[in-house]
Every structure is written in C-alpha cells, then in structure tokens.
Amino acid sequence: MERILFGDNQFFAVNHISDEKSRAQAIKFKDDHAIIRTLDYAIDAGINTFMCTTHDRISNICDFIRKNPARYEKFSIYPCMPYAHKYANAVTELGVVGALREYTPGNFFGSIFKGGVAYLAKDYLSIMELLVDAELKMFKGIRTPVIFLQNVITDLLLGLGMSDVLKAFHDYVIKKHNAEPGFITMNMPKLLTALNDAGIQNPIICASINKAGFRMSGGKEIYEETLRSKEVRVIAMQVLAGGSISAKEALEYVCSLPNIQSILFGASSQGNIQETASLIHHYDHALK
C-alpha cells in the first residue's frame, strides 16, 4: 500500500463536525467533473490511490478513468463496501423484496423464494459473495489491490461474534478477486483479536487514529499499545479528529506511531491536498 491514500468523504457531503461544511461540499461536488478535478489534484501531489465507497456516482468516475488510461496509468482504487445508504434507500423505495431483486441475480432471487427464510439462513455466505461481486462490477478494468468491508458491517459482525463471516469475506476477496482484504472499524484492538482468532494474521485494518482519541473505542492508549505489540497493517483515518486538531499536530503524532502503513485523508482544495501530503513526507523524514 502507498503511504498516502485519498478519501471520498468530501465528495458526498460527509463532515463529522459541521453541517454547514457538509452543505457547502454537496454544492461544490454536485458535478462529477469537480470530483475528477480534485482527484487530479491528488495525483499531481503524488497520491495515486483513491479509497472510496461504492456510492452510485463512483461508477461515473470509473467510466472516466477507463476512458483516459494514459492519465490514470498508475492509479488504483480501494473499494469500500457495502455503501449502506444505497441498500437502505433501495429498501425504502422498493421494499425488501424489490431491493433483493435489484441487487441479486435472477436465478438466485428465485431460489430465495423457493427456499424462503431457511434458504437465506443456510446460504448467507453465498449472498455475501454475490453482493461483493455486484459491488465490484463498477471497478472492472481498474486496479483494486485492496478491497474493504465497511465499518457498519465489520463492527456489526464483530458485535454479533460472527467472525466466520469476516473470515469468509477475507478468503473470498483473495480467491475470487486476487486482492487483499481490508476491514474498516471503530474498534481496532477488538477487531484485530477477532481476526487473529479466526486465523487471519497481519490483517489490513483501517481505523480512526488521532491524538484526540476521536472515535477510538476503548481509548487512545489501548490503540497505541496494540500498534506497538501486535502484527497488523494499519491505515489511519480521521487523523484530524474531525477538524479539532491542526494538521501539523495531527500528522506529527500519527507519523510517530509504529505499524501505521498508510494515512487516509480527504480534502476539497488543491492547497489542502498539497499541504497534507507535504506534511506527511516531512514528518516521515524527520521522525526516522
């Protein structure tokens, strides 16, 4: 994985601190060309990996990338699935039956009705595989070396003790899609233990890592101890703690930690992208 990853929150009006900023971002990125332009700013700053949800608009971005292979020759995408709002909206608009029909192949959908709930209970791992395949269709022809399970599902499965599904996702991504599986979580120490117990060693985990302890379940200290003592490849997200820490203070802290393989951030302007990338390189060099 590259040291610096570019995220997509700003494109879809996700701001953990300010509703006003969310509204401004929604207006700024209402056009797909604004997203492409910002991705180009990231590439110009030396960032060649885009970590994003499987939001419907990402399909348009993928189409543009495929049509411009020279510009995006070294570009990779790390898909994060599922995009929960998409399925929630489908259930609201189409009902449960309509949502299943929308996102599962016809033959499989027919089998569900033949077997009913018992079929769903028996074959939930097969459903997981089909949904993974469906979510990845938009990325065909684009490098996707790491594929992530979103925290809304990771942490649900973690809380339910369903490590078998986490292991099944891990194995399926490797076998079917020739990629490394990753897991996004709000509880990195607990997830790491569960993955290790399921036989997954040195996993890729994306979690909130910041000096303020923002969204770090269990507290900053247990995260720091886990990073020092365990074998894990961590992607640090929300490093600015939702904007409550200055970029310099935040990045100096994160760059000083062991086992932080990558730093994920999002930004709306060319200046902020360049500044963040420069600070990461500066502290990486200074703290060696």
The domains of the chain, with CATH numbers, are 4-83+143-286 (3.20.20.100)
Q: What is the pLDDT of residue 23?
A: 77
Cite the DSSP H helix spans in 187-255.
188-197, 220-229, 247-255
**pLDDT value for 87:** 61
286 three-class SS: helix
Element (H, E) at 19: helix 19-28
pLDDT at residue number 112? 46
Residues 131, 82 contacting (CB under 8 angstroms): yes
Cα–Cα distance, 194 to 182 (Å, whole number): 14
> ω before 82 within 30° of 0 (cis)?
yes
- Residue 70 has which token pair? 């020279």
Q: What are phi and psi of 187, to 5 degrees?
A: -145, 75
Q: Are 9 and 237 in contact (CB under 8 A)?
A: no
Residue 1's pLDDT is: 93
Positions of the chain with pLDDT lower than 70, given as ranges: 13-19, 84-92, 94, 96-122
**pLDDT, position 27:** 85
Report the pLDDT value the prediction gives residue 82, as an integer from 0 to 100.
87
pLDDT at position 113: 47
Cα-based distances in Å from 54 to 50, 135, 231? 12, 7, 29
